[in-house]
Amino acid sequence: MNRPVRTPDPDEMRARILEVAEEHFRRIGCHKTSVADIASGLGMSPANVYRFFPSRDAINESICRRVLNEFADIAVAIARTNLPASVKLDRLLNALHHHNKKKLIKERCMHDMIIAAMQENWAVIKSHLERMVTIFKAIIREGVEAGEFKVEDPAEAARAVKAAFMPFFHPILIEHCVRNSEDTETSLREQIRFILKALGKSD
């Protein structure tokens, strides 16, 4: 008696496809990895991969989201600590810069993928930046309520923080600094001090 063939769970298959895709992305890069490469790693045809993802772009964005979630998880963990808002924001900005810098030095292929995503305006980048601004806003609001910060509109202030911190957050700008051996640590401390003062934090 033949046993019934188990139909693969779609969520399981999508997860397996992303695992293989991410391994290729990390090893040889996003643009050098083809759907055929991913399919071969799974022992299936490219057509079968497209049963679970509507396009190659959907795979790219899913992997990019995984990488960006690393940043978001760091931000959320810091935001949830029982620290003064100014300390939270200081630690968060430091952590985001150093995580991005580490990505450049130790995970170049993923760094390059994020650059491509930003240059090509992938939807996942917009969502990520909006999420970061939301986290900034929550911390700033805490600071206002505690009397640490003196701003009227935490949402507006959060967007301004994102803009002011972009030289230490954008992967291309970080790469430029590293390539030219610039002292990013001193500049980072100065910029965070400037941001905190702009929010009304006194020394």
Measured in whole angstroms, the distance separating CA 42 from the mean position of its chain's CA atoms is 27
Q: pLDDT by residue (tens digit) across 101-135?
A: 998 889 999 999 999 999 999 999 999 999 999 99
User: How far apart are alpha carbons 93 and 114 in whole angstroms?
Assistant: 18
Cβ-proximal residues to 61 (8 Å cutoff; 6+ apart), any chain: 117, 122, 123, 124
* Banded pLDDT at 202 (limits 50, 70, 90): low
How would you class 170 by CB atoms within 10 Å of its CB: exposed for 0-12, middle for 13-18, buried for 19 or more?
Answer: middle
* Banded pLDDT at 56 (limits 50, 70, 90): very high
Q: pLDDT by residue (tens digit) across 31-45?
A: 999 999 999 999 999
pTM score: 0.87
User: How far apart are alpha carbons 166 and 99 in whole angstroms?
Assistant: 14
User: How far apart are alpha carbons 161 and 198 in whole angstroms?
Assistant: 9
